[in-house]
Amino acid sequence: MINEILPHQFNNQFVPSNEIEENDFIFHYQNNALLVKINNEEIEIPRKKDFSNFPKETKHIFLFSLDNVPCFLIWNCPEIENYHFTYKEINFFRTFKHKDIAWISIVGLQIMNWYSQNRFCSTCGSKTKEKSDERAIVCPNCNTIVFPKISPAIIVAITCKNKILLAHNAKFPESWHSLVAGYVDIGESLEETVKREVKEEVGLDVKNIRYYKSQPWPFSGSMMIGFFAEADDTQPICPDNIEITEAAWFTRGNLPNHPPTISIAGEMIEKFEKGEI
């Protein structure tokens, strides 16, 4: 999966913001695109030393570290004097060959969006500021503290003997299929969410629900929590025709187009294809 970057080490422990050193990585986003450096046709995250006129007073926020190198978000674009820099849309990193760069690029965007969306207090409307000792935002007027929001969502591979149920979401490209997934509602357990989402989206009752693993998914600010479950294939499949337009049982060797293994959905489907579940 895209977040599994060994032997590289990703560390999201918050460090109080300090001065940016010459070898530190610099993240600057425009909308959903990241400023990158082109080095002999290779894409890299730029370092402070790559900018000849890096602004001394630029506002910056510590993000995380990669292989013990601090990574900083800056809000103002540094002066770019040559063609060695360009912007890459965040979806580009879904299939980028260097998973360590891909991972920190999308996590950085999630953090940047969170800071951008919390510039004003949701309680009293005052301008907020970053806390200096933890990753949080505080309102100096009413002392409301806001922490990063992560939305839990289940994703479930439903099987019956040698078949797996795959569904076509209304937002998918034509012929593209994946697993049933959905967000956890207030007051629900994860297992209850699995049952509800499957019933709502494809009309099936499931049993023997087993936890698989989880994956942070910064593209949507989610934590994807994977499960395997079983269903009786004599039940009628009833897509909701809102999110799911089509669903069917598929056998190994005859799967439709589906997500790659950068996502937990792709990894779970691949496990079925290999006969590992």
Q: The domain containing residue 122 runs over which residues?
A: 118-148
What CATH number is given to the structural domain containing 63?
3.90.79
Residue 158 contacts residue 230 (beta carbons within 8 Å): yes
Average pLDDT on 23-47 reads 92
Q: What pLDDT is stored for residue 39 in this prediction?
A: 84
- End-of-domain residue from the set 116, 138, 165: 116
Per-residue confidence (pLDDT) for residue 227, from 0 to 100: 98
Average pLDDT over residues 22-26: 95
| pTM of the predicted model as reported, rounded to 2 decimal places | 0.89
Residues 156 and 167 in one domain: yes
Q: Which two tokens stand for residue 125?
A: 């409307």
Q: Is the pLDDT of residue 58 over 90?
A: no
**Residue 5 within a domain:** no
Of the pLDDT bands very low, low, confident and very high (cuts 50, 70, 90), residue 174 is: confident
The answer to whether residue 210 is domain-embedded is yes
pLDDT of residue 16: 85
Verify that 156 and 125 share a domain, yes or no.
no
Q: What is the pLDDT of residues 210-269, one digit of tens each?
A: 999 999 999 999 999 999 999 999 999 999 999 999 999 999 999 999 999 999 999 999
Domain membership flag for residue 41: yes
Overall domain count for the chain: 3
Across the range 4-16, mean pLDDT stands at: 94
The sheet with strand 60-66 has its strands ordered as 10-11, 60-66, 69-74, 25-27
Q: What is the pLDDT at residue 80?
A: 75
pLDDT in tens, 198-219: 999 999 999 999 999 999 999 9
Residues 112 and 124 in one domain: no
pLDDT-derived band at 21, boundaries 50, 70, 90: very high
101 pLDDT higher than 90: yes
pLDDT in tens, 123-145: 999 999 999 899 999 999 999 99
Query: What average pLDDT is seen over the chain?
Result: 94
Q: Which region holds residue 221: left if phi is over 0, alpha if psi is between -120 and 50, else beta? A: left
78 pLDDT more than 80:
no
